[in-house]
Amino acid sequence: MRLDARRPGTSTTFIDSASGEHVLQVAMDDDGSLFIAYHLYDECGALVADSAGLEEPHLGLAIHSEAGMLLLNIPADAGDHIKYRLHGSNGRLLTHSDGARTRIYPHLQMESVGRMWARHG
């Protein structure tokens, strides 16, 4: 998934189907502004990072688990692919992407144009 490939008014949401929790959302509002929201858990189910709602992405952001595993990488160049490793709150791996390949596991649900988290700011 690339940030510069989004269309105004669209969003992609990654949901843990076991809990119904939204773990990652990438959205572009009708004006073309890009926003991201996340609840990132590690492989043990510990919350590592929470954006507390939609916010403008910090290009070059990298979030790692305490064990050093990359959970989310927002590249410095919006034309590069986002890398992620998304776990549910129970530690179950939902999906991961290294930018070239994406693996999706059974407890991932995705919505294309769905409810957007409330923006904060």
Closest CA to 93 of 81, 82, 84: 84
Query: 52: closest CA among 63, 37, 62, 65?
Result: 37
What's the pLDDT score for residue 18? Answer: 93
- Given this model, what pLDDT does residue 113 score? 65
Low-confidence stretches of the chain (pLDDT < 70) are 2-7, 113-121
pLDDT of 56 reads 82
Identify the sign of the CA torsion 43, 73, 39, 116.
negative
Amino acid (one-letter) located at 58:
H
Question: pLDDT at position 59, please?
Answer: 81
Give the side-chain half-sphere CA count within 13 A for 14.
Answer: 28
Q: What is the pLDDT of residues 48-65, one digit of tens each?
A: 999 988 888 778 889 999
